[in-house]
Amino acid sequence: METILVVEDDPSIRLGLERNLSYEGYRVVTAATGQEGLEAAFREKPDLVLLDVMLPGPSGLEICRSIRRHDPAVPILVVSARTQEADRVAGLDLGADDYIAKPFSVRELLARVRTSLRRRRALSHEEKPVRFGRCEVDFAARALRVGGEDRECSSKEFELLRYLVRNRGHVVSRDQILNRVWGYDYEGTARTIDNFVQKLRQKIEDDPDDPRWIRTVRGVGYRFDAAPGKDGGE
C-alpha cells in the first residue's frame, strides 16, 4: 500500500483529502503544521507528498526544498491558493512536481496523484543512466553529475532534460515541451521554457552562451544534440 503525506493546516481540506485518498486505497498520513510535515516526511518516507504552501511554522516551499535534498525522487504536489505564475515557478524551481490551485477539483487532484505515482513506479524500472560529454544523468534517482561532481536540479529540470534526451536529434517546440513536461492545463508561457533551459545549460554546458547539448532552433524551440554511441549516449 502506497503512503501519501498530506500537509495542510485547514482542517476541513485536510479531512477531505484524507477521506478521499483513503477511499482510493492509499495509506494517508496527515500533518497540520510545517514542523509536523517535516517530521512526518522523514519518519514515514511517503511515496507522495501533498503540500500546502501557507503553513504555521516552516512554509510549504521550505518543506519542499528540505524533502528534495534528502529524496530527489518522491513526487511532491503543491496545493495552494497562491496562483500567480511567479508562485508556480517558485514551487517548481524548489523541486515540486506539480502545482495545483485552490479551490481544486477532487477528481482532478486524485488523477494527478495517480499519474505522479504511476510515473514514479515506471521510473523505478526504466531508464539506465545517460552519459554525454562530462555529464551523467540517472533519471530514476534524479541525480546529475558533471565532471564527477553532483549538481542539484529541480524536479521539472530533470523532466525537461529527460524529454529533450528522449527526443535527441529532433526539434521540439516550446508548446510541445510545455504540454508534455508541465501539462496541458499549465498556464505558463514560452518564457517559462526559456528560463528552465537556461538553468539547465548553466549546469550541463561547458559554455552556456555557446551550448553544445541543448541547441536553440530559432522561431521553433530546442534540439538535444547528443546521439547514442557518440559523446557517450545511453
Grid cell digits, residue 132:
554525454
Beta bridge partner(s), residue 221: 173, 217
Looking at residue 93, what is its pLDDT?
Answer: 73
Rounded Cα distance between 53 and 37, Å, is 12
Question: Residue holding cell 565532471?
Answer: 147
Looking at residue 176, what is its pLDDT?
Answer: 85
Q: Dihedrals φ, ψ of 80, to 5°?
A: -150, 150
Q: Is a pLDDT exceeding 60 seen at residue 230?
A: no
Looking at residue 229, what is its pLDDT?
Answer: 38
pLDDT in tens, 188-204: 677 888 989 999 999 99
Q: Is a pLDDT exceeding 60 seen at residue 168?
A: yes
Find which of 62-66, 71-75, 110-114 is predicted with most confidence, using mean pLDDT. Answer: 110-114
Q: How far is CA 195 from CA 57, 99, 199, in A?
A: 31, 18, 6
Looking at residue 80, what is its pLDDT?
Answer: 83
Rounded Cα distance between 66 and 54, Å, is 16
Domains of the chain: 3-123 (3.40.50.2300), 130-233 (1.10.10.10)
The helix/strand count (H/E) of the chain reads as 8, 13
Find which of 120-129, 167-176, 225-234 is predicted with most confidence, using mean pLDDT. Answer: 167-176
pLDDT in tens, 98-135: 888 888 889 999 998 998 888 777 666 556 788 898 99
pLDDT in tens, 19-46: 999 999 999 999 999 999 999 998 888 9
| DSSP state letters, 134-196 | TEEEETTTTEEEETTEEE---HHHHHHHHHHHHTTTSEEEHHHHIIIII-TT----HHHHHHH
pLDDT band at 67 (very low <50, low <70, confident <90, very high): confident
Structure pTM? 0.58
Rounded Cα distance between 226 and 234, Å, is 10
The mean predicted confidence, pLDDT, of the chain is 84
